[in-house]
Amino acid sequence: MSNENVRKGQGDSHLSREEFSRRLRERFYDPRFESVQQQVDALIEAAWDGYDNYRKSPHKRPAGTGFADPDFELPVEWLRTRQEVAAAQQRQRDPAARSRIMLICASPRSDESCPGEMSKTFRLVRLAQAQFVAADVDVDLLDLSHLTSVYGRQILPCKACVSTAMPLCHWPCSCYPNHAMGQVNDWMNELYPRFAAAHGVMIVTPVHWYQSPSVLKLLMDRLVCADGGNPDPTTTHGKRAAEAKALELAGWSYPRHLAGRAFSVVVHGDAAGAENLRRSLVDWLTDMHLIQAGHAAAIDRYVGYYEPYATSHAALDADAAFQAETCNAARALVQQVARIRKAMPEQDADLADPRPK
């Protein structure tokens, strides 16, 4: 495929030296930095050099055996994450390993940040966690409120490499870290192995403006590489769009890296959108070939329907049925994980997918 098939012309986003310095200097706004101004100036000068010369991955090494082009250099961070994902996947497939559930609290609210109060989501997560502990299942609690309450914790946005060509989206994601752009501390490098290690996933989430909270949507978008992502970046020599297009057009297998895991979903709202969000989450997980843990494992409810937010925790206190339903969703997930680990096949496991994407 020629480069003429790769569309260009969106515009130049390169900053001037002055604007780059102004933006980076905002990180040193605290008067405490005034006493180390010379060191700050030196840091900005070094950072400008990395940005202007676009050193995205300053530390690389040859990919080595097992790659299509073993001499092509890949970022050491990506190679490390890939190794951790492979080790986690191996543990997950070990019949002797303990069952493991990733339990996701998808609210950005925390009593350690601006709201000053925990979320109802977190309370529901604790109910589910107690069920997993009682079932003697390991629990990996992923609290997405850390994106708002923990210093340096972030999930950077997906760049939609998939929409150029599926093989351009690498598993795990290779877009970050980008040291030239200051796009570092990306939490996903830690989360990909944690997802790979899980036998089941439970998402507990509120509704934000008829949709998923932004913290959850960031996670969802960055998991696109788990559904058809390319495990060998040397086949595209990094991010060469023309090579990725040629690979896809030659026939791409769309490997489902998280397929076969079980899931449950609990969605709660205050006025609208809960049913739509529950449906979209179930569709998303099912599209990745995860397996719903039965009817009880996907619920949407309203807490304090059209009542004041100020009394919403009291409304949850009074809603014993919703609390019980959340516990049932957790129990159903434990049961589904057990069935899957006994190698009971999916109902449609022998059917070929005519539209892999």
3-state secondary structure 174-231: CCCCEHHHCECCECHHHHHHHHHHCCEEEEEEECECCECCHHHHHHHHHCHHHECCEC
For residue 261, pLDDT beyond 60: yes
Instruction: Tell me the C-alpha distance between 54 and 82, whole Å.
Output: 24
Instruction: Tell me the C-alpha distance between 203 and 105, whole Å.
Output: 7
pLDDT, tens only, 310-337: 999 999 999 999 999 999 999 999 999 9
75 phi, psi to nearest 5 deg: -60, 140
Count of CA atoms in the C-beta half-sphere (13 A) of 38: 0
Model confidence at 352, in pLDDT bands (50, 70, 90)?
Answer: confident
Tell me how long the chain is: 357
Instruction: Out of 3.40.50.300, 3.40.50.360, 3.40.50.12780, 3.30.1490.270, select the CATH number for domain 86-341.
Output: 3.40.50.360
Q: Where are the domains of the chain?
A: 86-341
pLDDT, tens only, 69-81: 999 999 999 999 9
Q: Looking at residue 4, what is its pLDDT?
A: 56
For residue 221, pLDDT beyond 90: yes
Model confidence at 5, in pLDDT bands (50, 70, 90)?
Answer: confident
Burial of 89 (0-12, 13-18, 19+ CB in 10 A): middle
Using alpha carbons, list the distances in angstroms from residue 296 to 138, 279, 293: 21, 14, 7
For residue 119, pLDDT beyond 80: yes
Instruction: Tell me the C-alpha distance between 18 and 48, whole Å.
Output: 10
Residues 6+ apart with CB under 8 A from 244: 161, 164, 165, 166, 167, 168, 230, 236
Measure CA 280 to chain center: 16
Max CA distance (Å), the chain: 68
pLDDT, tens only, 36-70: 999 999 999 999 999 999 999 999 999 999 999 99
Q: Looking at residue 354, what is its pLDDT?
A: 73
